[in-house]
Structure 1
Amino acid sequence: MIAAPRSPRLLVLSAVVLAAAGAAVLGVPHGREPQAPTAAATAARAATDPSSAAAVPPVGKPTASTSPATAPTASTPSVLESALPVHGAGTAGDPAVQRNLEAAWPSDLPAADERELLTAGRALLRADATGIGRTQWPTVFPGSGGAVAPAFAAAGFRVQAAIARRNGSPDKAVVHLVWAGTDRGGTFTDLRITDWHFIHTVRKGTTTWTPQPRT
């Protein structure tokens, strides 16, 4: 039942998530920083290459830099690392995932509609992944009354972040969810991405957001 994301905006978000996660992993140091050259090495270099002597400051005497200030090479990975946690960061990294989603796609729905959509989207994702609660949406999960082997275990399943946004018109919306879970093979994976589409309908004089079946 878990399908690949189809929304163009979701594909962009997927690329941002994967690229930032990869950059954050690359930004993690894997060894010790290279040590500064010793006084002997500095003197040897100056003796063999006179042009370098003027560029090498005397040992033990601080000098003012005359070259333009440049950002350290590790600044970019550290920024990405703070914006998005690496895989396996656990619940402590979930707020960063939420901030990343909100920054990528600013809110454009009334607060009440957004709350309704997020509640429904989270419940739909849980039902789709674990099989729990599918009977609430017979049109979304046809045949849910029978025995269905869930794709993911209920234990350990969690929604890491979620946003609800308009989807092309005032009467359409999409809920983007980033989540984590353990599949039937016992493999745990986080930063999974799923979307649910809704339309604004009127039932018995009350307007509501109705989820659309996954195809």
Structure 2
Amino acid sequence: MTTTPRSPRLLLLSTALLAVAGTALLGIPHRHHEPPDPPPSPTANATTDPSPAAPTPTSNPPAVGTAASTPAASTPAAGASALPPHGEGTAGDVAIQRALEAAWPLDLPFGDARELLAAGRDLLRADATGIGRAHWPAVFPASWQGLAPAFATDRFRIQAAIARRDGSPHKAVVHLVWAGTDRGGTFTDGRITDWHFTRTTTLKGASTWTPQPRP
């Protein structure tokens, strides 16, 4: 089973991550220098310092660029951190998490976001490594239980994750960025996977989030 991104929403996530990195670079103010004072006249004292006056910055720095918005996202914060280079390891995961949170501010109740994140992480781990697939029979049917996992369990890491609304109060999506080593021994980080959920109500009136099968 592959975990390659399968929806246009994943392309939007990739674009937003790159846009955040660009935003951080564009956010660095550029200083414009005034021309130096004219050289001293021939009658000036020879001991006077001939160097030009120190340059002074202009009144305002240029405006910071912004990333394109989507229905489930808003403009990233101007001070968002640039994304780390590939291969940075766990040291770069914090920057990726901040970039996601800046691109998509929280729009779910805290309890819902926590439930969705836990489910999304478990689903991704089950999909990539095979661990826990039996807990999600609607997503991983019995015919998939015996499939060899595509990624090594001890070389799998979720780098960042957020849960947000998916165009409706009753729909949500969990965006995950992760790293792993496949069965061929190739390590890749910055992988992106989305898991979609719908809010359902049990017979007792309780509300819960149900994951949707991957296409």
TM-score (norm 1): 0.71
Could you list the runs of 5+ residues in structure 2 that have no partner in the other structure?
25-37, 40-48, 62-77
- Counterpart-to-counterpart distance in 2, 1:154 and 1:177: 17
Q: How many residues are aligned here?
A: 179
Structural mapping, 1:5-154, within 5 Å: 5-8=6-9, 10-18=10-18, 61=51, 63-65=53-55, 68=58, 82-143=81-142, 146-154=145-153
CA distance 1:70–1:165, shift in 2 (3 Å): closer
Tell me the C-alpha RMSD between the 2 structures: 3.1
Following TM superposition, by how much is the alpha carbon of 1:85 offset from its aligned partner in structure 2, in angstroms? 0.8
The one-letter amino acid of 2:138's match is T
Return 202-211 or 170-179, whichever deviates more: 202-211
- Counterpart-to-counterpart distance in 2, 1:5 and 1:60: 66
Following TM superposition, by how much is the alpha carbon of 1:15 offset from its aligned partner in structure 2, in angstroms? 1.5
Assess if the C-alpha contact under 8 Å between 1:201 and 1:208 holds in 2.
Answer: yes
The one-letter amino acid of 1:13's match is L
CA distance 1:132–1:63, shift in 2 (3 Å): same
Runs (4+) of structure 1 exceeding 3 A deviation are 18-24, 59-63, 66-71, 79-82
Following TM superposition, by how much is the alpha carbon of 1:187 offset from its aligned partner in structure 2, in angstroms? 0.9
- Counterpart-to-counterpart distance in 1, 2:109 and 2:80: 32
Corresponding position of 1:163: 162
The one-letter amino acid of 2:159's match is Q
- Counterpart-to-counterpart distance in 1, 2:209 and 2:90: 29
Assess if the C-alpha contact under 8 Å between 2:201 and 2:207 holds in 1.
Answer: yes
- Counterpart-to-counterpart distance in 2, 1:172 and 1:70: 43
Following TM superposition, by how much is the alpha carbon of 1:168 offset from its aligned partner in structure 2, in angstroms? 1.3
- Counterpart-to-counterpart distance in 1, 2:3 and 2:22: 24
- Counterpart-to-counterpart distance in 1, 2:207 and 2:3: 28
Following TM superposition, by how much is the alpha carbon of 1:139 offset from its aligned partner in structure 2, in angstroms? 1.1
Higher helix share: 1
Assess if the C-alpha contact under 8 Å between 2:162 and 2:175 holds in 1.
Answer: yes
Corresponding position of 2:64: none
Please give the secondary structure, in 1, of the residue aligned with 2:153.
coil
